[in-house]
Amino acid sequence: MLAKLTDTPENIEATTKTTDDTIDTTNELESAAKDLESAARDLESAAKDLESANNVQLDSLNRLELNITKVDSRVRRMKGELQKKQRPEESGRVVKRVQERDRVPPMGTLTHLSEEKQKRILEEAKKRVASGDRTNHGLPIDTDRLSAARAVLESQRASSSLGEKERSSHHKL
């Protein structure tokens, strides 16, 4: 075919154009090959990143399972301790301790006031209770002391009313 072609400017131009097109196609193919190689490297890098993330998640999952195991053992231990505390023989002792602690202590151990001051407070309280006055009259608010004073007054009233009933029943005989 080359023998038939003549070196006319049109033929030279067509040959040049074909050669240029071939070179352009080759360049495009080389560029595409480079792009594919770059994409392959990116995929390899992404695969390594995924593998690393997977390993991190696996480690995290292992730690989480270990923590769950520790919490489960703590819960079992606490349940055992709770069951020990709830045994009938022990629960009775707990109730006794609470009851002993909740008892009203004697007036002397409750406050650091002198006996005279305690007697004066009791007398004033008796007078106020007898008159129906429930105000504080400037005394410092001490609910424990007031509760103890009320308890003493109530016990004195109860014992004095019992004594009067017994005396009145003896008089009738």
pLDDT of residue 155: 84
- Rounded CA-CA distance 170/163 in Å is 11
Distances in Å between the Cα of 63 and the Cα atoms of 67, 71, 72 are: 6, 12, 14
90, 116: one domain:
no
**Token pair in block for residue 62:** 């292992």
166 located within any domain: yes
Number of structural domains in the chain: 2
Integer angstrom CA distances of residue 146 from 49, 87, 126, 159: 75, 38, 12, 20
Of the residues 57, 80, 103, the one at which a domain ends: 103
Q: How far apart are CA 20 and CA 26, in angstroms?
A: 10
Instruction: List helix spans (H) across the chain.
Output: 9-85, 88-102, 107-110, 115-131, 143-172
Please give the DSSP secondary-structure letter assigned to residue 103. Answer: S
Say if CB 5 and CB 11 are below 8 A apart.
yes
Q: What is the pLDDT along the chain (173 residues), one digit of tens a residue?
A: 454 556 666 666 666 767 777 777 888 889 999 999 999 999 999 999 999 999 999 999 999 999 999 999 999 999 888 888 776 555 555 555 555 555 555 554 555 677 888 888 888 888 877 776 666 555 556 677 778 888 888 888 887 766 655 555 555 55
Q: Flag whether 162 is in a domain.
A: yes
Do residue 93 and residue 20 come from a single domain?
Answer: yes
- 48-96 tens-digit pLDDT: 999 999 999 999 999 999 999 999 999 999 988 888 877 655 555 555 5
* pLDDT number for residue 156: 84
Q: Does residue 111 sit in the same domain as residue 85?
A: no
Same domain? 22 vs 74:
yes
Q: For residue 128, what are its two tokens?
A: 């106020």
SS3 104: coil
